[in-house]
């Protein structure tokens, strides 16, 4: 769950409506692995609207922390940060991409199937 939440600040570094390559680059710059970054970029590329990216950037700007600080957060703190997005569809999309790719080691492909 913590790993999925790390998507928020990492994606906040992306452009207002980033391409899959820009999403991948933003995640790599925040310390995500190549395989996981590619998976998340594939999952999110083209699925979110510009307003979603603006909301992610706004929340990320208010919650930026180091990776060590993110890892030490309690489940309650994580829930509070996600709730700040205020959009259950967006939260669900980010969680599915982050958790799915993390749990499946980057092997997740669009539609939920695995390689």
Q: What are phi and psi of 49, to 5 degrees?
A: -90, 165
Question: What value does the mean pLDDT take over residues 51-56?
Answer: 83
Instruction: Please tell me the distance from the alpha carbon of residue 23 to that of residue 56, in angstroms, as a whole number.
Output: 12
**Does the pLDDT at position 24 exceed 80?**
yes
Q: What pLDDT does 108 receive? A: 47
pLDDT band at 4 (very low <50, low <70, confident <90, very high): low
Q: Is the pTM of this model over 0.85?
A: no
Q: What pLDDT does 103 receive? A: 79
Q: Are 70 and 2 in contact (CB under 8 A)?
A: yes
Number of residues that make up the chain: 115
**Does the pLDDT at position 8 exceed 50?**
yes
Q: Are 41 and 23 in contact (CB under 8 A)?
A: yes
DSSP type of residue 47: T
């Amino acid at each position: 769950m913590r790993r999925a939440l790390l998507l928020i600040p990492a994606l906040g570094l992306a452009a207002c409506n980033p391409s899959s390559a820009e999403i991948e680059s933003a995640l790599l710059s925040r310390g995500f692995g190549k395989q996981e970054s590619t998976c998340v970029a594939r999952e999110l590329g083209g699925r979110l609207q510009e307003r979603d990216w603006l909301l992610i950037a706004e929340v990320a700007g208010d919650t930026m922390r180091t990776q060590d600080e993110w890892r030490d957060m309690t489940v309650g703190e994580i829930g509070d940060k996600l709730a700040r997005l205020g959009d259950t569809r967006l939260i669900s999309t980010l969680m599915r991409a982050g958790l799915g790719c993390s749990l499946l080691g980057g092997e997740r492909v669009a539609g939920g199937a695995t390689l």
